[in-house]
Amino acid sequence: MYQYDEFDQTVVNERAAQFRGQTRRFFEGKLTEEQFLPLRLQNGLYIQRYAPMLRIAVPYGHLASRQLRMVAHIARTYDKGYVHFTTRQNIQLNWPKVEDVPAILEDLASMQMHAIQTSGNCIRNITSDPLAGVCADEVEDPRPYCEIIRQWSTLHPEFAFLPRKFKIAVTGAAKDRAAVRVHDIGLRLLRNPAGEVGFEVIVGGGLGRTPVIGQVIRPFLPKRDLLTYLEAILRVYNLYGRRDNKFKARIKILVREMGVEAFREAVEREWRAIRDDFPLEEETIRWYQARFVRPDYDPDAPVRTWDDLRREDRGFDAWYRHNTVEHKVPGYRVVFLSLKPPGVAPGDLTAEQLDRVAELSERYSFGVTRTTHTQNLVFADVRQADLYELWQALREINLATANIGKLTDMICCPGLHYCALANAGSISVAHDIYRRFEDLDYLYDLGDIRINLSGCMNGCGHHSVGHIGILGVDKKGEEWYQITLGGSSSDDASLGERLGPAVAKDRVADSVEAVIRTYVDLRMEEEPFLATVRRVGVQPFKERVYANH
């Protein structure tokens, strides 16, 4: 994990002090509501339906145990004792008081944390692959580049008042676990034919009201040019992105209206003028790489696959198969902590669980916990020999539901229980669906299925890239739900296709069941859900879902 130096610490301290002053001026009437708005948003503070919401940055999803404990402390002291993990690897507090936020930011700063640019029309938290550095399919560890981009974008003087929000994701792996094609900028580390490592640059992806899959504007960007190229893209966007209509202000609309070729040409022209102004030197990259403390792996860690115990204990076996994955270091394995047990809002965790996770991370995974964009947690570096013990400990705190990647591992926004924008109670719909699929044998037989739910078309639940997407819409004050099939945010990124007219709230779980039964009837051998949908199209699903209407 990246270790702050005195300068990094100074930035978060000074930011907390700045916000304390801004909040004071707001309460003194020296800043109007309208003036305070972007200032508080750029510190993660929203005013929501029932209470303010504070979004805490978790840079590329990494949290040290002391940071988890601080989040637990904040949840207990200033909130209702629980937090929510988001689809951009961040943490949200749903009930803080505005006047407490300066103190919260100071508490966070004391643990090298912050809420800088977690909202507002600026460059947001940099997200990445939750398996960065431990997966075998990686060209290079993306995290030092994530940190470089984090610092470059932090308090960037030119890009703090963009037309709209701006999200960047980076991956170093062959398989995309960071959804780089649905970000404003997606960066993929890769090796060119000459053997050099650089970035593929994807621009203009995004979800929300107008979901778009990003396009490659540069197939290979040398590392030295990373920051100048990002700066060129941002400058073209800042100068020419639309500001007349907030729903047309994202970079994806600019790319569409200019045409990707003209956009690329504008970026390249800008970049040629600045590419030697501040190249990213090899020595600088090395400095960042060296600031990451890496786990001190035990070269003698025994390889254990737990075959005997797995034969005896089906629960452990299911957890081992579904919630753990291979690690590139022999004797270690990656463990997912499911934040999707039955009856809990997807992504929610209590302060007590946070404290226990912190403790377990210290005992079993070098003190680091990672967050994923599917709203789960990861212990990336667990000795295989510890797996059984860890499973038992995770069961005690309800984080061992063996459903990672399965139908009940749903992505879901907080919905109208919290959010000022939402039309729908997405969480209760998620619970309805969940209850239909509690039979684990059935769940595992269905294989990998991603259901994503959003309470409104802003799409925080990423419905448009769910294998099954569910979107809450308002029809004359009633909650209705639009269902899409065939979306994906991974390598084969695609947008879901609408199944038909929206269904009433009490029909959503039935409809999902009908979709699943259709899949079971139509699948060929081991064919995954997404492949079946792509092969047969939505028609057979549609017939079944609307048969009784």
Partner 1 sequence: MRIIKNREIVEDAWAHLTDEEIPANGRVTVPFGRWLVERETLLARDGEIGVRLDCEAPDELQRLVPDLPRIQLILLELSRFTDGRAFSLARLLRERHRYAGEIRVAGDFLPDQIYYLARVGVDAFEYRGAESLEEVLRAFETFSVRYQSAADGPGLIRQRRLVAGR
CA distances 408 to 24, 372, 398, Å, are 45, 16, 15
Nearer to partner 1, 50 or 247 (CB): 247
Nearer to partner 1, 66 or 156 (CB): 156
CB 182 within 8 A of CB 202: no
Q: Shortest distance, CB of residue 42 to partner 1, whole angstroms? A: 10
Q: Shortest distance, CB of residue 22 to partner 1, whole angstroms? A: 6
Closest CA to 15 of 79, 97, 104, 91: 104
Which residues sit at the interface with partner 1, rule CB under 8 A? 7-8, 10-11, 14-15, 18, 22, 25, 30-31, 35, 38-39, 121, 148, 151-162, 227, 235, 238-240, 243, 273-274, 277-278, 280-281, 283-284, 286-290
Nearer to partner 1, 160 or 385 (CB): 160
Residue position matching structure tokens 């984090």 = 150
Q: Shortest distance, CB of residue 285 to partner 1, whole angstroms? A: 9
Nearer to partner 1, 116 or 335 (CB): 116
Distance from the Cα of residue 118 to its chain's centroid: 12
Q: Residue type for 483, please?
A: I
Nearer to partner 1, 240 or 546 (CB): 240
Cα–Cα distance between 360 and 353 in angstroms, integer? 10
Q: Shortest distance, CB of residue 125 to partner 1, whole angstroms? A: 15
4 sits in which H/E element: none
Cβ neighbours of residue 259 closer than 8 Å, sequence gap 6 or more: none
Nearer to partner 1, 39 or 103 (CB): 39
Closest CA to 54 of 62, 63, 45: 45
Q: Shortest distance, CB of residue 150 to partner 1, whole angstroms? A: 9
Cα–Cα distance between 166 and 149 in angstroms, integer? 13
Phi/psi at 399 (nearest 5 deg)? -120, 25
Q: Shortest distance, CB of residue 16 to partner 1, whole angstroms? A: 12
DSSP for 128-148, written as a single string: E-TTTTT-TTBSS--HHHHHH
Nearer to partner 1, 158 or 438 (CB): 158
Nearer to partner 1, 8 or 129 (CB): 8
Q: Shortest distance, CB of residue 428 to partner 1, whole angstroms? A: 36
Nearer to partner 1, 40 or 467 (CB): 40
Q: Shortest distance, CB of residue 241 to partner 1, whole angstroms? A: 9
β-partners of residue 221 are: 199
CB 238 within 8 A of CB 254: no
| Residue ranges of E strands in 88-182 | 91-93, 127-128, 168-171
Q: What is the 3-state secondary structure (H, E, C) of 516-541?
A: HHHHHHHCCCCCCHHHHHHHHCCHHH
DSSP for 257-326, written as a single string: HH-HHHHHHHHHHHHHHHTTTS---HHHHHHHHHTBPPP---TTPPP---HHHHHH-HHHHHHHHHHEEE
β-partners of residue 173 are: 138
Q: Shortest distance, CB of residue 546 to partner 1, whole angstroms? A: 45
Q: 473 in helix, strand or coil?
A: strand
Nearer to partner 1, 60 or 316 (CB): 60
Nearer to partner 1, 210 or 284 (CB): 284
Q: Shortest distance, CB of residue 151 to partner 1, whole angstroms? A: 4
Q: Shortest distance, CB of residue 121 to partner 1, whole angstroms? A: 7
